[in-house]
Structure 1
Amino acid sequence: MKKQKKKIIMGIGIIVVIGMGIGLFYFFNQPSIVFKKSVEKIEINDDFDAKSFIKEVKHHSIDDVKINSSKVDNHRLGQYTIEYQIGDKTYNLDVEVVDTKAPTFDIKDLDVDLGTNVKPEDFITNLKDETKTTVAFKEEYPLNKAGEYKVIIVVSDEANNQTEKEATIKIVKDEEKPTLTGLKDLTVEVGHKINYLSGIKAKDNRDPEPKIEVNSKQVNLSKVGTYDVIYTVTDKAGNQNKYTKKVTVVENKPIQSVGQNGNKIVYLTFDDGPSANTAKILNILDKYNAKATFFVTGNGKKYNYLIKQAHDKGHTIGLHTYTHNYKQIYASTTAYFNDLDKIGQMVKGQIGFVPKYIRFPGGASNTVSRHYCKGIMSTLAKEVQNRGYQYYDWNASTGDASGNNVAVSQLIKNGTASHSQNIMILAHDTAAKSTTVQALPKIIEHYQALGYTFKAIDDSSFTPHQHVNN
């Protein structure tokens, strides 16, 4: 019995040992994950590979590991957890999203007026960082006094990374007043509007954009009279200048269109001057006791003194626009009248008033204006008369608009071809039209021999209006 009992015990022992051995085998051969670090750090906004944090996977392939990193926000600083699962085991790895890079930026020096509210941000350009930043002065600086100072700008981010840079600030006590140019007295017909800022520019030694205010409360555009307009210009330092100009509101009395009459009259008209040829033309007109009309532009300013000379000799000065730039003047009705106002004021500076006789570049029948504003000539032909102007086309021409230095014989032939009672001849006054000057005596002689008188345009003159084509 004892022997049998020992055999049973030994059998049980062997079974236990074998069971323990099998258990230990399975225990030591279970798959497990070993990480490189106990806590991983991820740079903010950088992509990351959660698998790269694994050092090894024991008794299994790394490809069998299931990873859940959905709780990690790599765009925000903070502590997060990544879950790894293999077999029936789950492992957690702590990760920290960090910012280890200091802000980068460029610095600029400042030149400001005394009293300007200067902030540290004003010195900063091209600021870059992965998190929110704050900008501050490193210490207090005497920015309420004129002088030149060194200041240190500190930029900090959410992770307390900091970058410091030095800048220079120059604080100037500005006492120079701003000025206005282009101011002029204005004339307007009853019921019309005024652009009080047309042609006016503000200038200042330190402020590129001084503020302009216009006080036109006294002006009554519905009543004839003379009124004061007050212009105030102020710079950013508070320096101020005031100007007073007159606005004269006049009755709207359009010049009437006049047809042909029984008198033999030639109206010689010269466009585009004044020029180097204007004095020669005036001498020829004096020689033949002939009067003419000059539709002038702003393109020959060094000869502007001849505008007054022509006026003093009894010739008529008309307006032909300041720029004679089709694209600019025919861009809109406003553009045209702004230009017309500019040439009017230029002529007023020579003869003391703004003429009401005008000629459209290209004439009222021009079609070039279609390229810039459809229908503008139909509008302008009516509106200029509504505003008290009268426009003059022509019913005869020298043909000198076709080119420079057209043959004198051809100009004479063209210029003497009309048989109308009232003849308005188109000619040009520019430096390139020397043959026009040479042809002028023969043209005058031809018509004087036929009993014509050469007159300058006035309110009673023949008013040729061509068919408007736009």
Structure 2
Amino acid sequence: MKRKKLIIIILPIALIILAAIIGTIAYYNINSDLVYSEVYVEAGTSTCDVKEFLKRDVKGAAFTKESTFDANVPGDYKLQIKWKMPVFGEQTYDTVLHVQDTTAPEVTLTTESIQMYTTAPAPTAADLVESVSDITNCSIDYKEAYDFSSESSFDITVVVTDTSNNATEITVPCTVVEDITPPEITGIAPIEIAQGDTVSYKKNIEVTDNLDPNPTLEVDSSEVNVDKRGVYTVRYIATDDAGNVTEKTTTVRIVSAKIAAATEETVYALADDILAQIITDGMDQKAQARAVFNWVVNNITYSESAGIDDLLSAAYKGMYYHVGDCTVKQKTAEVLLNRLGIKNMEIEKIRDTRGHYWLLIDVGEGWYHYDPNLQLDGTLIFYWHDADLWAYSNSHGNTHNYDPSKYPPIQ
């Protein structure tokens, strides 16, 4: 009887304990099934918060300090998550994060079509790509080799591939044109301006091309000094899209500005006054020419900065101001000789580091050299034979070298 009573007492207790054990196990199993064993994400699309790894929302779950990953870099990352479970305390769960890249690059090209010349550098595939959007680095290549050196039309396929071998292909049409005809430059002519004026280098200049509607024109005026009298070379360079080049040159002559007071009436009056003083009755033309020569040499002070090119202005400067360079002296003598009816013509030295001007005169015996400038060594060149002038010039640094083809025979 006592045994039966004991069983009756123990059995309920045992059942309660068993139920508690089963409940505890069930509670543990339910709560411990918290973390997914694997999680897959597309690279760059998620921050991979710990909540994405949990099967249900709980408080306090977090990655361990040792668990590191980069959701932008494809790869398989082994991670651990810790969570403090009620009753059972802190639990650690293993999981694997698979960062995948299955998205092809987004590509924008620089152009929808290509038109180029056979002479142009062959474009690389990268030259045709304006932008690439992808989570990883990408390579840019042509799908196959293309010949850009021969005239033809074909399609070009550009392939952009990321490090996960996702590829985007874009095809554009290409036309290669052969152009070996250079552009034409028309309207080029010698230019003459006064000192300090602005040069309109491109005035009346036209550039045309058989294929390029807008060939470029470059003007190289680096040698020109608009503030200094002289003759300068200007280069015109026209280039078309194919790289064909045409080059032409012309000259820019910088002359001194005219003197307003140097009218024909005024200058001739000054000349006649001088001639009245130096010309006497009975002089032949050679003697008259010598008198003019002496007056110019003795009465006009040489000044290289006082040059002037206009005939009347130069003669006015020489006769009124009594100062000037070789041009002023030459032109003053020219006006005086003209008033006497003595035949004369200007002659110019072949320009090297500097220029020089003098005259030829003919008093009935043929042309002779007539330079109304006192030479640096004191020499006076009046009525010289051509051979004598060449000998002097050659021994004095080419002071009077000139182009004989431009002038009549000289005695």
Name the TM tier (shorter chain): 0.3 to 0.5
Which structure's relative contact order is higher, taking Cα pairs within 8 Å and 6+ residues apart?
1
TM-score by length of 2: 0.48
